[in-house]
Amino acid sequence: MDFGSIIDAAISDALGPQAVVFALAAIGLNIHFGYTGLLNFGQAGFMAVGAYGLSVTMVRYDMPLPVGIAAGMAAALVLALVLGVPTLRLRADYLAIVTIAAAEILRLVFGAVETKEVFGGSNGLNGYTSTWNSLNPYSGGLDIGIASWSRNDLWAMTVGWIVVGLCCLLVWALMRSPWGRVLRSIREDEDAVRSLGKNVFLYKMQALMLGGVIGGLGGIFYALKQASTVPSDYSTNLTFFAYVALLIGGAARVMGPVIGSMIFWFLMSGIGQLFSQATRGADPLIPDWIMTDTQASLVRYVLLGLGLMLLMIFRPQGIFGDRREIAIDAR
Amino acid sequence: MPVDITGAREALRDLPNDPGVPKPDPIVVGDDITRTFGGLKAVDVEHIEIQRGVITALIGPNGAGKTTLFNLLTGFDVPDSGSWSFNGTPLAKVPAYKVARLGMVRTFQLTKVLAKLTVIENMRLGATGQLGEKFFPAIFKTLWRGQEDEITERADELLVRFKLDAKREDFAGSLSGGQRKLLEMARALMVDPELIMLDEPMAGVNPALKQSLLGHVKSLRDEGRTVLFVEHDMDMVRDISDWVIVMAQGQIVAEGTPEAVMADQRVIDAYLGAHHDTDLSEMDETSLSREVEAEIEAEEADS
């Protein structure tokens, strides 16, 4: 067992670009679910339109990077509008159904043979990162002993965490304001808010758009750091992992999704590495008849599910949540 | 500041006790409002007028359509037909939030406090026209700080008046049933409504708090607001209302001053049943069954 490499993998991923992607997705979900109570199960869809908005404009229309980023964000905004207009007047669970369906439809359309000319089929799109790479100021990777990153990762992390920081700042500023108060009130009871003269539909739409655009930013960042946009990356797993990250950190807390995403990737990589080492080699620590090395790569998902269950039972408010708020529900 | 309401009350004194009687100065006027749920006609109101500046009680047995009428008037439900207006503004197809902004604010039978917000946050939410509730200004605190301070000051005054100031920083979800009713009423006042509609303000409130709640309802009228409330508690109705509208099976069956309505045979029949003051066991069984048969025949002839 090489604990050094386990720690290295865990920390590298916890602070790496992958954690940035999930942090952005979870910040968006936090606005939807944590603050406004909108059950959006289609965050992967918002991320996909962000990513494809960027890559299609840059690959098919040869537009520069800023235009691509703007197109990605605009695409997420439009998706929020299209989903919100018919569903936000309905009960909350309808939004969950519609969003998860919309995300799947989008993924299938992006990966379809018929749309290969535009979206590149199941191989997706690539070759749009020359500007992104040329902006990289670093000359090499970074190795701090307990973690290491390549030159490209380092650049992606720098930009990514700055974007995450700005998003957190925006969420913090909005949620301390009367606007945020209306959102939290809508989460508690829509009709009460309506009876006080607030246009509930408008606020829900604004929340859906804001969270969707931040999710879209996550997709744009995903496309840039990965240098390719592939439809299979935007499956429902992405949404559910983002929810896990949010719940670990604590919903309705500004830093909840960020810390949650870091912990999520620390555990995913750390546990993955641990089991992969324990089952590797001629005489593995865990014998073959218990677990083979192919099974080992899946154990982390089992443990993740188990961990989430325990979290919900013993600390439902997550790491940053306020226990008092949760206790009221039990009355 | 107390407002002189004797004029408004006197004007009601001489009105006939007929359903839908025109009032001298109505704030709400409704015509032919109907709402059906499946085969049930929950509300079927030909004409209704609510007098300005007084307390009007809406009473009736369970299922009479009182809360449904409330929902229809405030835009929380859409009627099958009908027109109604508030201060002369037609309200058909006006969404609930706009009705509230016009100055017609309601509370709910099952109190809707925002459990995970503190009491003071609940109050602040009630204020209308907040710049900080718009998306872009919300980002910059300097833009809305001044208004927020004014709102908080007004909210604190109301909390003192409703004796909730000790609970200021508590989560609304930790309040007792009666305190929730008080909070809901105080929060509705943050909107500064002309007409406040209370849906069963006494339901689930302990007797000790009832008296103070009664006082609060009266104080709403005394500061110049119009109050319309739904209630089952007849003592409360008699005690504080200036006018009573009685509903049964979706229709208005009688109206009048509390004294007149309590004595009205139609009301007694609707509310308590035709045999409310006789012990059924003592009644002559044959005459009772004869009466029932006659009733059945009458109904069959009707249909």
pLDDT at A92: 77
**Which residues on A lie below 8 Å from B154 (Cβ)?**
none
Q: Which amino acid is at A173?
A: A
Segment B96-114 shows an average pLDDT of: 92
How many angstroms separate the CA atoms of B196 and A22, rounded? Answer: 47
**For chain A, how many residues are written?**
331
Residue B221, judged by CB atoms within 10 A of its CB (0-12, 13-18, 19+), counts as buried
**Contact: B132, A198; criterion CB under 8 Å:** no
Chain B positions contacting chain A at CB under 8 Å are 74, 76, 95-98, 100-101, 105-108, 112-117, 121, 124-126, 128, 130, 132-135, 138-141, 144, 148, 171, 173-174, 187-188, 190-191
Long-range Cβ contacts of B298-301 (<8 Å, 24+ apart): none
Instruction: Check CB contact under 8 Å for B125 and A181.
Output: yes
pLDDT value at position B225? 94
pLDDT band at A323 (very low <50, low <70, confident <90, very high): low
Which positions in chain A touch B126 (Cβ < 8 Å)? Answer: 196
Measured between CA atoms, how close is B36 to chain A, in angstroms?
A: 21
Q: A171-185, A301-315, B23-37: lowest mean pLDDT where?
A: A301-315
Chain B residues with CB inside 8 Å of A328's CB? 115-116, 171, 173-174
Burial class (CB in 10 A: 0-12, 13-18, 19+), B147: middle
Across B189-215, average pLDDT: 88
Residue B40's beta-bridge partner residues?
A: B37
The residues of A whose Cβ lies within 8 A of any Cβ of B are: 170, 173-174, 176-182, 184-185, 187-189, 191-200, 206, 324-325, 328-329, 331
- Asked if residue A281 has pLDDT above 90, the reply is no
How far apart CA B296 and CA B287 sit, in angstroms, is 14
Residue B142: how many other CB atoms lie within 10 Å? 7
The answer to whether residues A182 and B133 touch, using CB atoms and an 8 Å cutoff, is: yes
Whole-number pLDDT of residue A79: 96
Distance CA A256, CA A247 (A): 8
* pLDDT tens string B53-99: 999 999 888 888 899 999 999 999 999 999 999 999 999 889 999 99
pLDDT at A328 over 60: no
Best of A36, A170, A177, A189 to mutate (most B CBs within 10 Å, chain B)? A177
Across the range B7-22, mean pLDDT stands at: 75
Please give the residue that has the higher pLDDT: either A190 or B285: A190
Burial class of residue A329 (count of CB atoms within 10 Å of its CB; 0-12, 13-18, 19+): exposed
Q: pLDDT > 90: what percent of chain A?
A: 72
pLDDT in tens, B222-238: 999 999 999 877 778 88
Higher pLDDT, B239 or B6: B239
pLDDT band at A331 (very low <50, low <70, confident <90, very high): very low
By Cβ distance, the residue of B97, B113, B188 closest to A199 is B97
Which tokens is B87 given?
A: 């201060």
Question: Does residue B262 register a pLDDT over 60?
Answer: yes
Residue A324, pLDDT score: 66
% of residues, chain B, pLDDT over 70: 91
Q: Looking at chain A, which residue has its C-alpha nearest residue B133?
A: A179
Query: Which helix H or strand E contains A148, and what residues bound it?
Result: strand A148-149
> Left if phi > 0, otherwise alpha if psi is -120 to 50, otherwise beta: which for A273?
alpha
pLDDT at A308: 85
Instruction: Write down the pLDDT at residue B275.
Output: 58
Reported pTM = 0.89
Q: Do A177 and B141 touch (CB under 8 A)?
A: yes
- What does the block give as tokens for A186? 């809508």
Q: Which residue of B has its CA nearest to A180?
A: B133
- Which of A177, A206, A331 is the closest to B132 by Cβ? A177
| pLDDT value for A196 | 95
Choose the mutation target among A196, A202, A210 for the interface with B, i.e. most B CBs under 10 Å: A196
- CA dist., res. B181 & res. B229, Å (int): 13
DSSP for chain B, written as a single string: -----HHHHHHHHTS---TT---SSEEEEEEEEEEEETTEEEEEEEEEEEETTSEEEEE-STTSSHHHHHHHHTTSS--SEEEEEETTEE-TT--HHHHHHHTEEE--SS----TTSBHHHHHHHH-SS-GGGSHHHHH-HHHHHHHHHHHHHHHHHHHHHTT-GGGTTSBGGGS-HHHHHHHHHHHHHHT--SEEEEE-TTTT--HHHHHHHHHHHHHHHHTT-EEEEE---HHHHHHH-SEEEEEETTEEEEEE-HHHHHH-HHHHHHHH-TTTTS-GGGS-HHHHHHHHHHHHHHHHHH-
Question: What average pLDDT score do residues A259-268 get?
Answer: 94
Averaged pLDDT score across all residues of chain A: 91
pLDDT digits (tens, 9 = 90+) for A69-124: 999 999 999 999 999 998 888 877 888 999 999 999 999 999 999 999 999 999 99
Name the percent of chain A lying above pLDDT 70.
97
> Which DSSP category does A255 fall into?
S
* Interface contact flag, B106 A206, Cβ < 8 Å: no
* Least Cα separation, residue B243 to chain A (angstroms): 25
Give the nearest partner residue to A174 out of B121, B138, B173, using CB atoms. B138
Q: Which of A225, A195, A178 is nearest to A20 (CA)?
A: A225
**Contact between chains at A195 and B174 (C-beta distance less than 8 A):** no
Amino acid in the structure at residue A146: I
pLDDT in tens, A144-153: 888 899 999 9
Q: pLDDT band at residue A325, thresholds of 50, 70 and 90? A: low
Alpha-carbon gap: A170 to the closest alpha carbon of chain B (Å): 7
For residue B284, what pLDDT band results from cuts at 50, 70 and 90?
low
Of the partner residues B76, B117, B138, the one whose CB lies closest to the CB of residue A188: B117
Confidence band of B272 (pLDDT split at 50, 70, 90): low
What integer pLDDT is reported at residue B281 of this predicted model?
61
At what angle are helices A17-29 and A3-15 packed, to 10 degrees? 50
pLDDT digits (tens, 9 = 90+) for B146-162: 999 999 999 999 999 99
pLDDT at residue B267 in the model: 77
Best residue of B86, B107, B125 to probe chain A, by most A CBs closer than 10 Å: B125
Do residue B125 and residue A197 have CB atoms under 8 angstroms apart?
Answer: no
Residue of A174, A182, A196 lying closest to B100 (CB–CB): A196
Backbone angles phi, psi at B35, to 5 degrees: -150, 125
d(CA B96, CA B191): 14
Residues B280-296 have a mean pLDDT of 71
| pLDDT on residue A145 | 84
Instruction: Tell me: ipTM over 0.85.
Output: yes
Q: Which residue of chain B has the CA closest to A174?
A: B139
Q: How confident is the model at residue B13 (pLDDT cuts 50, 70, 90)?
A: confident
Given a cut of 60, is residue A326 above it in pLDDT?
no
Chain A CB contacts of B174 below 8 Å = 328
Asked if A199 and B121 come within 8 Å (Cβ–Cβ), the reply is no
